[in-house]
Structure 1
Amino acid sequence: MVSRTTFDLLVVGDANPDVIVSGSPRHPAFGQHEQLVPAAGLVLGGSGAITAYGAARLGLRTAFVGRVGDDPAGAFVLDCLRSGGVDVSGCVVDPGAPTAMTVVLVDGDDRAILTAPGCLDRLAAADVPPGLIERTAHVHVSSYFLQPLLAAGLPGLFGLARAAGASTSLDTNDDPAGRWAGLDEALPVTDVLLPNESEALSIAASVSAPTSATAPAPASGTGPAPASKTGPAGSPAETSDAVSDAVSEAAGLEQAVRALAAMGTLPVVKRGGRGALAFADGEFIETPARPATVVDAVGAGDSFNAGLLAALLRGLPLRRSLAVAVACGTLSTRAAGGTAAQPTWEEATR
């Protein structure tokens, strides 16, 4: 840790209550028909908030800057973060728009996410209090595509952070619009990029660095249709095709990761049940997933982020930091909601 700092980590991004509905029907019945589900809960949500909460639980001195409405939902969010040891003195309470709200419908290991953005798109880089960056060792930004004002100011914000001696990281999360645009200026000042596999492919396809020689393979559902399979199910022909598809998918991801690294960032890709993949100094580093009985995967990627940053800020090498991150993401799935089962540093490093 750097002695000049007040905080090890500053997270700038989204925060909202999550209503987690467990055992949701795949297709809820409309027409005023009431359906019963096994469980539901009101918990802290938002990629940024969950990352900040997890980092504080791992022992980092953590601050969070975001926007909430002047309403009970906003008070709930700030109270949750404070109770987790996160400094929220830099948060903006916005009287002009409600707090964002999310409903997560969980069906097994899959989920549907419905978000009312509220004041989310009002957060800007200028909302970060002057002087806070100078007192922080690392600045992390979440949910790039949900916060257009913050996205527009991100290159400047990260530039200020680097000038002050802080490192930077970004988890873009999904782009609901499907455009994946605007990252060309941000990635060169992003020390660590934290996408999942699908996001890595989409971001790499959108930035200017890839060429015809290095462009990633198209994401699932795009590009020409695969050749038809001729063998019966389970035949050598079908088995061979399945292996070929897996190899092509892996090659496409590796090409995407190389393209992202060429933009000047360290790509660390979250792969769920397949662990994690990073590319540094011309070398791929892979960490397998840990065995787990998953109760709820909401926020697992954000807990991964917290674990990786906690390990790197403690000076651990990348390979070991990846293992800690995978452990944090896995352990967070032990209970419903993004923060209920986030591990301590001792749990994550056993």
Structure 2
Amino acid sequence: MKEIDVLIAGTPNIDLIVPPYDALPGPGEEIRVDNIYVLCGGGVAITSIGLSKLGMKTMIYGAVHHDLFGEFILQEMQKYGVKVKTRRSEKSTGISIALDVDKDRRFITYDGCVNEVTPKDIPKGLLEKTRHTHLTNYRGRIDLEEYLQFIEDAHGAGATVSMDVGWDDTGCWDECLFEITKKLDVFFINDKELMEYTRASTLDAGIEKLSGYCSHAAIKMGARGSRLLKDGESVYGRAYCVNSLDTTGAGDSFNAGYLYGFLNGLSPEECLKAANFCGASSVQGYGGYVNVPNLKQLKEELK
């Protein structure tokens, strides 16, 4: 039996989440809110904590700057049982400030040391101890060769590989992505990203095109649920009707639930149900991982 269930390369950032308010203050003005939440953020942190809460042995391989926020990240990982292997960074910890103004979400982000560790930095000896690796922070063509090589190395070490593509803020939506998806064991993408990458006019058309480049993909559709593309067949996962407070990290919590099912041999329908339950639970609290269910709660839901 391998020591690590899921290994993720990358570095968490800090999310400063400001609860909803009506309007930004004008010049020289000040407003007061009920709270400002300080939490770990990013797909690396939220997915790894979600998996750990579901009983999976999870490790992050990343960079850390020993400032106040870097120490907070290490403490949160320890609190939730996520193992961390780090190297010291000269750059300070990345921070993202999330503002919710009159139901319009806005972000101010400083990357800091978030991108200092990439998949190529993971020692092959660590891969040999790992069942599964999960990739995040994809940056387009600049990452293509590195990701392809990493997937080959991981498979050679006996590990499966998943990836969440994320939003392309450059607007390029380079189709070189499909060279990677052909090699993945599981691919995560949301409906908007899928439409952009496939240049499709409908979701069904996008899924049809994706099926030519990927054998196993989970498509996240928010309040409309999810779709699973597996070996050419499409399965729908019903959404949960919940009171949403904060959607930060819901997709990453979805990924954690799905990977739990995938790694434990659940059926496609059960994998989607686990994923949707974790995503829906996540949005009922502030921060992506605080409200993610534990293993007992998930098993009760799957009965």
Coarse TM-score class (shorter-chain normalised): over 0.9
Taking the TM superposition and a 5 Å limit, the aligned residue runs for 1:119-134 are 119-134=113-128
Structure 1 spans left out of the alignment, 5+ residues = 206-215, 218-251
- Do the aligned residues in 2 keep the contact of 1:109 with 1:296 (CA within 8 Å)? no
Which residue number in structure 2 is paired with residue 166 of structure 1? 159
Q: 2:75 aligns with which of 75, 79, 82?
A: 79
Which residue number in structure 2 is paired with residue 43 of structure 1? 39
Aligned partner letter, 1:55: L
Q: How much does 1:270 deviate?
A: 0.8
- Do the aligned residues in 1 keep the contact of 2:24 with 2:101 (CA within 8 Å)? no
- Do the aligned residues in 2 keep the contact of 1:142 with 1:172 (CA within 8 Å)? yes
Which residue number in structure 2 is paired with residue 94 of structure 1? 89
Q: How much does 1:86 deviate?
A: 0.6
Q: How much does 1:155 deviate?
A: 1.0
Normalising to structure 1: TM-score of the pair?
0.80
1: distance between equivalents of 2:158 and 2:131? Answer: 7
1: distance between equivalents of 2:169 and 2:287? Answer: 22
Normalising to structure 2: TM-score of the pair?
0.92
1:281 aligns with 2:231: yes
Aligned partner letter, 2:58: T
54-63 or 338-347: bigger deviation = 338-347
- Do the aligned residues in 2 keep the contact of 1:258 with 1:279 (CA within 8 Å)? no
Q: How much does 1:203 deviate?
A: 2.2
272-281 or 321-330: bigger deviation = 272-281
- Do the aligned residues in 1 keep the contact of 2:11 with 2:115 (CA within 8 Å)? no
Taking the TM superposition and a 5 Å limit, the aligned residue runs for 1:1-350 are 3=1, 5-25=2-22, 28-89=24-85, 91-95=86-90, 97-107=91-101, 111-145=105-139, 152-181=145-174, 182-205=176-199, 216-217=200-201, 252-349=202-299, 350=301
Q: Secondary structure at the match of 2:112?
A: coil
Q: How much does 1:204 deviate?
A: 2.2
1: distance between equivalents of 2:221 and 2:16? Answer: 25
1: distance between equivalents of 2:268 and 2:170? Answer: 33
Which residue number in structure 2 is paired with residue 233 of structure 1? none
Alpha-carbon RMSD across the aligned residues, in angstroms, is: 1.9
Q: Secondary structure at the match of 2:261?
A: helix
Q: How much does 1:321 deviate?
A: 0.5
Q: Secondary structure at the match of 2:44?
A: helix
2: distance between equivalents of 1:40 and 1:30? Answer: 20
2: distance between equivalents of 1:159 and 1:119? Answer: 26
Runs ≥4 in structure 1, deviation > 6 angstroms?
Answer: none
Q: Secondary structure at the match of 1:180?
A: coil
Q: How much does 1:338 deviate?
A: 1.2
- Do the aligned residues in 2 keep the contact of 1:14 with 1:47 (CA within 8 Å)? no
Q: How much does 1:190 deviate?
A: 1.5
Radius of gyration: which is bigger?
1
**Number of paired residues?**
299
Aligned partner letter, 1:112: R
Q: Secondary structure at the match of 1:122?
A: coil
